[in-house]
Amino acid sequence: MDWHAIFSQSLQQGLGPVAAVYCLAAIGLNVHFGYTGLLNFGQAGFMAVGGYAVSSFVATWGLSFWLGCLVGLGAAAVLALLLGVPTLRLRADYLAIVTIAAAEIIRQTIGSVTLLKLFGGQDGLQGFNQSFASLNPFSGRIGIPGVVSWRPYDFWTLLVCWGMAGLCCLMVWALMRSPWGRVLKSIREDEDAVRSLGKNVYAYKMQSLVIGGLIGGLAGIMSALQHSAINPSFFATDTTFFAYTVLLVGGAARVLGPVAGTIIFWFLLSFLDLTFGAATSGANPTLPEAIMNSNQASLMRFIFMGLALMLLMIFRPQGIFGDRRELALDAR
């Protein structure tokens, strides 16, 4: 096995644009789940709304890309309001079920043949990213020679994504050390106590849902730009679960948790994929065909991921960098 190639490709994935998109999504979830204790299982829905607003704005209606970005973020905020109104007064598991259902509603509606003209059905939309691509100052492959390298457009999206992630982290850090952020954290710990102090818990939760949703919408926009295309399969339920794993690996309620989490998560995911891929390929594979073929090898990473998510939540719910005392993680 070529360990050097496996390591360098895994590192490339861990630092790459996909990891950066998931970092953004996980930062949004961090605001919801890590700081406020809101169990949003529909982050993929926020991403879909953001991404599709931009791409349909340009590809379907031929309007300005930048206006589309604003509308995408606005749409994500509206979705947060729509979801929050019925559910924020209810128990945590209700929010979980409603958000996961809403994300599926959005994905299936967008992918339907009925709306084919607007959103391109299952094939999605392409060719909406010229405005963004034309700003790309890079050419030729970029990276550290011999270790990692990206194509110029990938490097450009990667840079923008990580830049946005950095800004979002800064914003979360500033918000969470403010009095407002302290109220959020106390809502997570004991909602009734906060209510008894005369705070409007509902309003605070709603604000948190909107802010996290906006960051989710941003992740959706970047996801569409990064692929130069968009289709409903980007926003399946598993996308949300991946973002949760990213968040929990790094440590919820930590400003830089999602950043560390996404690098580790995508590095390991890609490492497992390449290792098992290499072990089952070739004329005389390391693992015999009877035990594992190459299709099965590509599943091993998800099997490990599911296992890791369970074990992490059981034995180290604070993730790698989290603080167990801060995060009680219990249903109310």
For another protein, the binding residues (CB under 8 A) are 37, 39, 85-87, 89-94, 96-98, 100-102, 104-105, 108-109, 112-114, 122-123, 238, 241, 244-245, 248, 295-296, 299-300, 302-303, 305-314, 317, 328-331
Distance CA 182, CA 276 (A): 45
- Nearer to another protein (CB atom), residue 161 or residue 300: 300
For residue 141, give the 3-state DSSP assignment: coil
Asked if residues 327 and 317 have their Cβ atoms less than 8 Å apart, the reply is yes
Asked if residues 25 and 42 have their Cβ atoms less than 8 Å apart, the reply is no
| Shortest distance, position 46 Cβ to another protein, whole Å | 16
Per 3-state DSSP, what percentage of the chain is helix, strand, and coil (rounded to 5)?
Answer: 70, 5, 25
Asked if residues 255 and 176 have their Cβ atoms less than 8 Å apart, the reply is yes
Distance CA 15, CA 275 (A): 18
- Nearer to another protein (CB atom), residue 86 or residue 163: 86
| Shortest distance, position 112 Cβ to another protein, whole Å | 5
| Shortest distance, position 246 Cβ to another protein, whole Å | 13
- Nearer to another protein (CB atom), residue 224 or residue 248: 248
- Nearer to another protein (CB atom), residue 33 or residue 57: 33
- Nearer to another protein (CB atom), residue 68 or residue 258: 258
| Shortest distance, position 145 Cβ to another protein, whole Å | 31
- Nearer to another protein (CB atom), residue 279 or residue 329: 329
- Nearer to another protein (CB atom), residue 112 or residue 131: 112
| Shortest distance, position 242 Cβ to another protein, whole Å | 9
Whose structure tokens read 């295309």?
229
143 secondary structure, DSSP code = E
* φ, ψ for residue 2, nearest 5 deg: -90, 90
Distance CA 196, CA 217 (A): 34
Task: State which amino acid sits at residue 7.
Answer: F
| Shortest distance, position 173 Cβ to another protein, whole Å | 24
Angle at 243 between CA 242 and CA 247, to 5 degrees: 115
| Shortest distance, position 2 Cβ to another protein, whole Å | 23
- Nearer to another protein (CB atom), residue 90 or residue 174: 90
- Nearer to another protein (CB atom), residue 104 or residue 321: 104
| Shortest distance, position 14 Cβ to another protein, whole Å | 20
Asked if residues 255 and 173 have their Cβ atoms less than 8 Å apart, the reply is yes
Angle at 232 between CA 248 and CA 227, to 5 degrees: 75
Task: State which amino acid sits at residue 176.
Answer: M
Instruction: List, in order, residues 6 or more apart from 5 with CB less than 8 Å away.
Output: 274
Strand ranges in the chain using DSSP code E only, listed in sequence order: 125-126, 142-144, 148-150, 229-230
